[in-house]
Structure 1
Amino acid sequence: MYGVTKCVVGYSGGNELNPSYSEMKDHTESVLVEFDPTLISYQSILEKWKALSNPYPGADRQYRTAIFFCNEDQETTARQACGGMEDMVDVEPITRFYLAEARHQNFLARL
Structure 2
Amino acid sequence: MKLISTFIFIVLASTCNTPIEKKAVQKEITPIEVSSQDGFERAYFASGCFWCVEEIYESVEGVEEAISGYSGGNTDNPTYRNHADHAEANEIIYDPNVVSFKTLVDVYFASQNIEQINGQGPDIGKSYRSIIFYQNDKQKKIIEEKINSLTNQGLKVAAEVKSFQKFWIAEDYHQDYAKLHPNQGYIQGVSIPRWRKFASKMPDVIKSSINH
Q: Tell me the TM-score normalised to structure 2 length.
A: 0.49
State the Cα distance separating 1:61 from its structure 2 match.
Answer: 2.5
Q: Tell me the TM-score normalised to structure 1 length.
A: 0.89
Deviations 1:62-92 (A, max 9, x none): 1111101111111111122232355411011
Q: Is 2:130 the counterpart of 1:65? A: yes
Q: Does structure 1 retain, via aligned residues, the 8 Å contact 2:73–2:86? A: yes
State the Cα distance separating 1:107 from its structure 2 match.
Answer: 1.7
Q: Structure 1 pair 81/108, CA: closer, same or farther in 2 (3 Å)? A: farther
CA–CA distance in structure 2, aligned partners of residues 26 and 49 of structure 1: 22
- 1:101 alignment partner in structure 2: 171
Letter in 2 for 1:39: V
SS at match of 1:74: helix
SS at match of 2:176: coil
Deviations 1:24-49 (A, max 9, x none): 11111001112121211101111122
Gaps of 5+ in 1: none
Gaps of 5+ in 2: 1-59, 120-124, 183-212
Q: Does structure 2 retain, via aligned residues, the 8 Å contact 1:50–1:81? A: no
CA–CA distance in structure 2, aligned partners of residues 58 and 8 of structure 1: 21
Q: Judging by fraction of residues, say which structure has more strand.
A: 1
Q: Does structure 2 retain, via aligned residues, the 8 Å contact 1:79–1:86? A: no
Runs of 4+ in 1 over 4 A off after TM superposition: none
CA–CA distance in structure 2, aligned partners of residues 50 and 68 of structure 1: 13
- 1:38 alignment partner in structure 2: 97
Q: Judging by fraction of residues, say which structure has more helix.
A: 2
How many pairs does the alignment contain? 111
**Bigger Rg, structure 1 or 2:** 2
